[in-house]
Structure 1
């Protein structure tokens, strides 16, 4: 009898071990079935069962799909909503820790979302600020606008007096990441807009891609504008020049440092200081790129070496092959020409910039501003002068439509120009009505459709 009992017990033990072994060695098909049931439980708000399946998937199928972890966040949120705050936070941390390990992509956004969840549910900055630091290190362009502001605010306040270079580096790193991301989405949006303008109707996939591109560019514009406001007072010539003078000798061959320093002094109009020329020349010697050559060409022209400067400008534009960067380079050249009063040549360069990136809204805004500033010299009467604002308005509207990242800036131009177009009374006096064609003279030489207030 005992022998039979031992045999039966042994069978149960073997069966139990086999069952555990099967659970531990789920096949791809088993994992897929479990995952689909898991998704159904979450979508059906059967969170108790979903939690069991989540534990199983994280243990036995951890690399099947990143959606395991995305849906796990919903389960954690439900636990908090139903009263188990500690359990929900613990689960969220567990899910995100494993997500980072198994799917280490898009970590700027992942760490940003992780911080947002814990911050929303009462965690203090001293406990979770490290998540923003990790998000910044991984990819600042993936962080939410609110969180990138938070990170930069803390960095600015903590280091503005003791380590201003760190503040500048942080600002530059964020902007470089945003610029790269913006370039990708600008090119994507350009191709989709070109399809629409050719008369094609976008399919569902392209329409979705367009919405994502527009939303992403809008968000980038919000972040960039906000950061510029925060750092504007910090970036004064009085602060930059002593800082760059102090660190110049140690960075004479550091191309990245030189590029950022020259760019800052250029955009903050600190170019009259001798240091600017030294930095530009050192940058051109350290790295022969389209950017360094263009800055140095400006120095050569200032020294009266016009022919040499023009040759260098051509070399700079030829050297750049990336269409988004080339568009930006040509726009910078156009801006320089505009400042010198060479509006016709500036417009030519701005239009060349648009050939390489038709979503470069700032090129349209430059043309718009040059048109508007020419209003008083491009007509013999009030009506003709005000029609120049119609041309400017068209360019500003175009900027807003092709480049959501500058929509708020473009809207200011639009509001200004809209208030200056001719009135119906002016049109009546000239025998012209809305919808008629009108040729604008002087250097603009453009035919527009009459708009009246």
Structure 2
């Protein structure tokens, strides 16, 4: 009996002792963690590194912030050994918390300090991409796609196309998200109810959206030399039987042929019909409308577009459908459809840019002299500036730069006998009043 009591008391003592040690260790970890964060905030990086080393050794699972802040300290102090230790430790202890971003940031670190070859960096970016392209930095998305393009453009162009589609879809999701956020904050800004924190967020959203827009145009430039009708058609003919019920493959094939102007080939109609059969989606029916249009069935095309539009419920996608319809029209009809798109997404910069391009094309026919013709570019410039304001990622910059060069000069304004700031009514179908620059 005494032995049993002794064993019981010993066990209880050990249990209490172990838990006391654990509690003390946990308390020490929390103390070190708070010291670490405090030194980081006050930029005492040398002191922070001491606590960081303790945390990495003794409290590795306490918080993912150990690794997030630690990576910034390693970067600021150029401690390459510490950077690698943090990167590897984070993936071991927090494999499901921002792993893609961790890969992306480590690749950026290696590039900055020239610590790895292009192939080594590519492998890290590939890991990030496979987990979540959305978590990659803008530059690293472009780097990864460049690597894929160089590696597979001749041996496996379909892989390049698939990667492009994946990346563009991720970029578009991000742009849509920023579009909505920017619209809400700009409304508060115009109403005078925006606070300082919201102003900072708005500035960050605009910066990020602009950067993503540059990536989108950069990706388009990269793939333009590869995705030609001469290259696309044989590939899609070869792979059609295997993918004729694969909605994702069909959507991408139809979209790429449409964007590259390959609609006149009979394969486009085959792909569009298969896409509609496989998905019964609004997007697919809209492509069928284009096929009917090309075949001269205007009434059938209009009915199919209405079917596609009525089927779609997402206002952002409804706006895209209207803009695509506008791009197949001309003059005032095209502009009216673009404005309809803006009813569903008032921050759709590409709709404003399309209207600007319509004005640009009419410059020579909407004025009786050089001044009046150049004032058309003022109207186009206004639309491009509006596009940039409401949708920073739409790629308005190059339009603005182009139109600015074409507006009336001070000399031309003087010769016309008018003054800067006066209103001017543009003629023909545009019929818009603008200010003389």
- TM-score over 0.5 for the pair: yes
Query: Does residue 1:161 correspond to 2:159, yes or no?
Result: no
Answer whether contact 2:71 2:83 (CA < 8 A) is retained.
Answer: no
What is the match of residue 3 of structure 2?
none
* 1:215-226 equivalences in 2 (<5 Å): 215-226=207-218
Deviation for aligned residue 1:77: 4.4
Give the distance between the partners of 1:249 and 1:316, measured in 2 at CA.
Answer: 26
Deviation for aligned residue 1:311: 1.2
TM-score w.r.t. the length of structure 2 is: 0.88
Answer whether contact 1:187 1:324 (CA < 8 A) is retained.
Answer: no
Deviation for aligned residue 1:309: 1.0
What is the match of residue 135 of structure 2?
142
What is the match of residue 57 of structure 1?
59
What is the match of residue 396 of structure 1?
384
Answer whether contact 2:52 2:66 (CA < 8 A) is retained.
Answer: no
What is the match of residue 35 of structure 2?
37
What is the match of residue 166 of structure 2?
173
What is the match of residue 5 of structure 1?
none
Corresponding residue to 2:367 among 379, 385, 390? 379
- Indicate the SS of the match to 1:58: coil
Deviation for aligned residue 1:430: 4.4
Query: Does residue 1:291 correspond to 2:283, yes or no?
Result: yes
Query: Does residue 1:351 correspond to 2:339, yes or no?
Result: yes
Give the distance between the partners of 1:50 and 1:68, measured in 2 at CA.
Answer: 7
Answer whether contact 1:41 1:50 (CA < 8 A) is retained.
Answer: no
TM-score w.r.t. the length of structure 1 is: 0.85
Answer whether contact 1:42 1:50 (CA < 8 A) is retained.
Answer: no
- Indicate the SS of the match to 1:253: coil
Deviation for aligned residue 1:125: 4.9
Query: Does residue 1:72 correspond to 2:70, yes or no?
Result: yes
Give the distance between the partners of 2:226 and 2:167, measured in 1 at CA.
Answer: 16
Query: Does residue 1:448 correspond to 2:406, yes or no?
Result: no
* 1:222-371 equivalences in 2 (<5 Å): 222-337=214-329, 342-371=330-359
Deviation for aligned residue 1:18: 5.7
Inter-CA distance 52–360: structure 2 relative to 1 (3 Å threshold): same
- Indicate the SS of the match to 1:264: helix
Inter-CA distance 42–200: structure 2 relative to 1 (3 Å threshold): closer
Give the distance between the partners of 1:210 and 1:345, measured in 2 at CA.
Answer: 34
Answer whether contact 2:153 2:160 (CA < 8 A) is retained.
Answer: yes
- CA displacement 1:135-182 (0-9 Å, x = unmatched): 111221322233223322332222222222111101110111111111
Answer whether contact 1:89 1:118 (CA < 8 A) is retained.
Answer: no
Inter-CA distance 344–72: structure 2 relative to 1 (3 Å threshold): same
Deviation for aligned residue 1:105: 4.2
What is the match of residue 23 of structure 2?
22
- Indicate the SS of the match to 2:425: strand
- CA displacement 1:5-28 (0-9 Å, x = unmatched): xxxxx9xx979756533245x37x
- CA displacement 1:383-408 (0-9 Å, x = unmatched): 3222212111111121222222234x
Inter-CA distance 287–22: structure 2 relative to 1 (3 Å threshold): same
What is the match of residue 5 of structure 2?
none
Inter-CA distance 115–414: structure 2 relative to 1 (3 Å threshold): closer
Deviation for aligned residue 1:239: 0.4
Give the distance between the partners of 1:425 and 1:132, measured in 2 at CA.
Answer: 54
Q: Aligned-pair RMSD on alpha carbons? A: 2.5
Query: Does residue 1:203 correspond to 2:204, yes or no?
Result: no
Inter-CA distance 420–161: structure 2 relative to 1 (3 Å threshold): closer
Deviation for aligned residue 1:273: 0.9
What is the match of residue 113 of structure 1?
105
Q: Which runs of 4+ in 1 moved over 6 A?
A: 13-16
- CA displacement 1:167-220 (0-9 Å, x = unmatched): 1101110111111111110111122223333x4252122212211211211121
- Indicate the SS of the match to 2:328: helix
Query: Does residue 1:96 correspond to 2:90, yes or no?
Result: yes
- Indicate the SS of the match to 1:432: coil
Answer whether contact 2:366 2:427 (CA < 8 A) is retained.
Answer: yes
Inter-CA distance 441–105: structure 2 relative to 1 (3 Å threshold): farther
* Unmatched 5+ stretches in structure 1: 1-9
Answer whether contact 2:100 2:129 (CA < 8 A) is retained.
Answer: yes
Inter-CA distance 320–18: structure 2 relative to 1 (3 Å threshold): closer
